[in-house]
Amino acid sequence: MGKTAFISHASEDAARAAEVCAALEAHGVPCWIAPRDVTPGHDYASEILDGIANSRVFVLLLSHEANDSGFVRREAERAVSKGKPIFPVRLENVTPSKALELFVSSAHWIDAWDTPRDAHWQRLAAVIRGERASAPAAPAPVLQRYISRAFIGLAALTLIGGVSWWFSRNGDTPTATPVPTPVPTPPSPTSPAAATPPPALPAPAVTPATPVNTAPVASAGPCPQRLSINPDLPLPFSCQCSRDAVRDGTVWGTDVYTRDSALCAAAAHAGVVGREGGEITALEAPGRDIYIGTARNGVTSNDYGVYRQSLSFQGAAPPADGPELCPQRLSINLELPTPYTCRCSAEAVGAGTVWGTDAYTGDSNLCSAAAHAGAVQRDGGVITVYREAGRDLYVGSARNGVTSNDYGRYANSLRFLVRAR
């Protein structure tokens, strides 16, 4: 029988994982957790796969040990391929490794290293019951961050020897068809002028004109999946995006993108290449403290915090005037200076989860919290947010069409500038 939540954890975190599982089940969320739920005598890897497939959501317990665990990464890959909502829970104040960034960058995080922890587990159970984590809208493309950030296409899962399982990498290296070098045809020599009657003078020597090379100029070679494979590669850089490449991979940012974004998908998002592919030119851009995700041209990009190498594209439309769009949560960069001003879209207002009233937890959905505070209308608009010290208690309420939730201690808070209307 399927469970609600699959608990993914490093073996070193088994005791803490058992605590999470027990707390969730006490709050009405049945869990699948290894080794407890592995059927004795059955293949361990197969049981893990079935546990993920038969659970409704995937809870990823993030720690230093989980960052180093190949099994945790592969479990997360499998969950994303199955379209499971991902709920990252930070057991320690640690950022995800590169191998896990894809699976947690756009999901709603729960920070659970402060005591008492029961409030964290109660909150996690409440969010799971509402399934408000970030489930991939299109599982195959989303899976591509490390299958598309590190490989090409979804790796095939194999069971080796009944206990080992691994994702095989499979990618074809495109080769450019050489441009044939034409053999120039010398022009016909000009006939000498007719000789006059004696004394005859020799006709001047005719120097053949230099032939014009009419061969097509060689086009740029195929694009790499991302430019971060060589951080020292000089830009501008031109290459050819294939039809498949513009549809694959994960992108962070809008107009300016992280350098480890899928290159051709980012170019499609920027509007410089169509869905059939074509030539693009990537330009150097300064790193940023925050990148904002949007949906454009059939590609949905993601929010991200600090990243020190960025790119933009030649021929892209300039960014719109005024404040940029707001991220989902300001907690993607805890060092971002405030006051911070950004623009909430109508879609962002009312989306996501909010904790508190007037003062909100730092990981509350930014635009929904602003609407709850009365700082923005339901059709969106510009907001200004400030960071404040954390609180021991956040009290939920229903205001302005948004219902917020209670919460206990949280390390930092948000407050909004509310203008008189």
327/342 Cα distance (integer angstroms): 8
* Number of other CB atoms surrounding residue 417 within 10 Å: 14
For the stretch 19-64, pLDDT in tens is: 898 888 888 888 999 888 888 888 888 889 889 989 999 999 999 8
Q: Quickly count helices (H) and strands (E) in the chain.
A: 10, 21
The predicted model gives 61-90 an average pLDDT of 87
308 in Cβ contact with 281 (< 8 Å): no
> Which H, E and C letters describe 216-266, residue by residue?
CCCCCCECCCCHHHCCCCCCCEEEEECCCHHHCCCCEEECEEECCCCHHHH
Q: What is the mean pLDDT of residues 288-302?
A: 90
pLDDT category at 421 given cuts 50, 70, 90 is: low
| pLDDT average, residue stretch 237-245 | 94
* b/e 150-174 (16+ beta carbons within 10 angstroms → b): bbbbbbeeeeeeeeebebeeeeeee
Q: What is the pLDDT of residue 230?
A: 87
Name residues whose C-beta falls within 8 Å of residue 108's C-beta, 6 or more positions apart in sequence.
Answer: 87, 88, 127, 132, 133, 134, 329, 352, 353, 363
- Model pTM? 0.53
The reported pLDDT for the residue numbered 1 is: 53
* Structure confidence at residue 106 as a pLDDT band (50, 70, 90): low
Q: Are 330 and 361 in contact (CB under 8 A)?
A: no
Q: Are the beta carbons of 295 and 268 closer than 8 angstroms?
A: no
Give the model's confidence band at 382: pLDDT under 50 very low, under 70 low, under 90 confident, else very high.
very high
Q: Residue 37: count other Cβ atoms within 10 Å of its Cβ.
A: 17
Cα–Cα distance measured from residue 405 to residue 360, given in angstroms and rounded to the nearest whole number: 10
Judged on CB neighbours under 10 Å (0-12, 13-18, 19+), 39 is exposed
* pLDDT tens column, 343-376: 999 988 978 889 999 999 988 999 999 999 999 9
Per-residue tokens: 209: 């004109």
Please classify residue 15 by burial: count the beta carbons closer than 10 Å to its beta carbon, then call 0-12 exposed, 13-18 middle and 19+ buried.
Answer: exposed
Q: Whole-angstrom Cα distance, residue 80 to residue 89?
A: 16
Mean pLDDT value of segment 335-346: 92
Report the mean per-residue pLDDT for the chain.
78
Output the pLDDT for position 130: 66
Average pLDDT over residues 143-158: 38
CB atoms within 10 A of CB 108: 22
In the DSSP assignment, the letter for residue 105 is S
pLDDT tens-place string over residues 158-211 = 434 443 443 443 444 343 444 444 444 444 444 444 444 444 444 444 444 434
Tokens (6 digits) for 277: 């592919």
245 alpha carbon, distance to own chain's centre: 16
User: For the chain, how far is it from start to end, CA to CA, in angstroms?
Assistant: 54
Beta strands in 227-376 (DSSP E): 237-241, 253-254, 256-258, 278-288, 295-296, 299-300, 307-313, 340-344, 356-357, 359-361
Range ranked top by mean pLDDT from 115-129, 144-158, 165-179, 302-316: 302-316
Q: What is the pLDDT of residue 193?
A: 43
Can you give the pLDDT at residue 23? 86
Give the model's confidence band at 278: pLDDT under 50 very low, under 70 low, under 90 confident, else very high: very high
Q: Which domains does the chain have, with CATH numbers?
A: 5-147 (3.40.50.10140), 227-313 (2.170.130.20), 330-416 (2.170.130.20)
pLDDT at 205: 45
Who contacts 202 (Cβ-Cβ below 8 Å, separation ≥6)?
Answer: none
CA angle, 63 as apex, 92 and 140 as ends, to 5°? 125
pLDDT attached to residue 368: 94
- CA angle in degrees (0–180, nearest 5) for 152-219-315: 80
Q: Give the lowest-confidence range in 62-66, 98-102, 243-247.
A: 98-102
pLDDT at 169: 38
Q: How far is it, in rounded angstroms, from Cα 226 to Cα 209?
A: 46
